[in-house]
Amino acid sequence: MASAVTDRAIGAIKQMVIDGTLKPGDRLPTESELSERIGVSRNSLREAVKALSVIRVLDVRQGDGTYVTALEPEQLLESLAFVLDLHQDSSYVEIIEIRRLLEPVAVEQACPHLVDEDFVRLEQTMADLDGSSTIEELVEADIAFHHLINDRCPNDYLSSLLDSLASSTSRARVWRGLTDDSAVERTLSEHRRILDALRAGRADLARTYAAAHVAGVESWLLQKGEPPVS
């Protein structure tokens, strides 16, 4: 029963945010006022506020009250990134599959929004790599390359989600690099195809190349299994 009442309080606050009664940055009414308005006890309201603060919808400021956060995508997806990190040892293939489905869309959408400065930075991520680069440097450059492109995707939720997925699969990419002598050469070649397509304004080709790039990691994981626990 207590859980149901807390859920009702969460739903009521959520609805207040959705309908604009509470806007990003607004201070919530006092605990007594809000609990009376919603029709729940103060204890249930406190539990609801605690739950919503965990997922970054509310910000509890000691001695100052409770506020609605900015509700930015990167804030709201932090809890998802945490969950992904907890389950990454048993979910690499599933997470990579999500990347394969979503990242090509982000690359395609980012294409018309990339400017000369972006292309310079993307070229630099590749120029920093050579035969002497460590696998950790390769993975770092790979994450930076995809982040730069995804950051130009106009869908903030999609780009933030992909950033979370990228960090959650970094160990799988390190493991692949350690067992694949051609990792640097292959990654640079695949990045070059994506970058050249983007520079040419060929969003359709960039999408295809991005899908093949991520699918290569997915296919390798399906053959090799999950990375060993470090």
Domain boundary among 29, 52, 68: 68
Residue 230 belongs to a domain: no
How far from 225 is each of 69, 70, 126, 135, 212, CA to CA, in Å? 40, 40, 28, 19, 19
For residue 88, the SS3 value is helix
Residue 98 belongs to a domain: yes
Mind listing the pLDDT tens digit for each residue in 110-164? 999 999 999 999 999 999 887 777 878 888 888 899 999 999 999 988 998 888 7
Residue pair 104/158 in contact by the 8 Å Cβ criterion: no
CATH number of the domain at 40, please: 1.10.10.10
Nearest C-alpha neighbor of 207 from the set 219, 188, 194, 190: 194
Same structural domain, 44 and 124: no
pLDDT at position 209, please? 96
Same structural domain, 55 and 105: no
- Round the average pLDDT of the chain to a whole number and report it: 84
Q: How many domains does the chain have?
A: 2
Residue pair 210/104 in contact by the 8 Å Cβ criterion: yes
Same structural domain, 35 and 85: no
Mean pLDDT to the nearest integer, 89-98:
74
Same structural domain, 84 and 60: no
CATH number of the domain at 95, please: 1.20.120.530
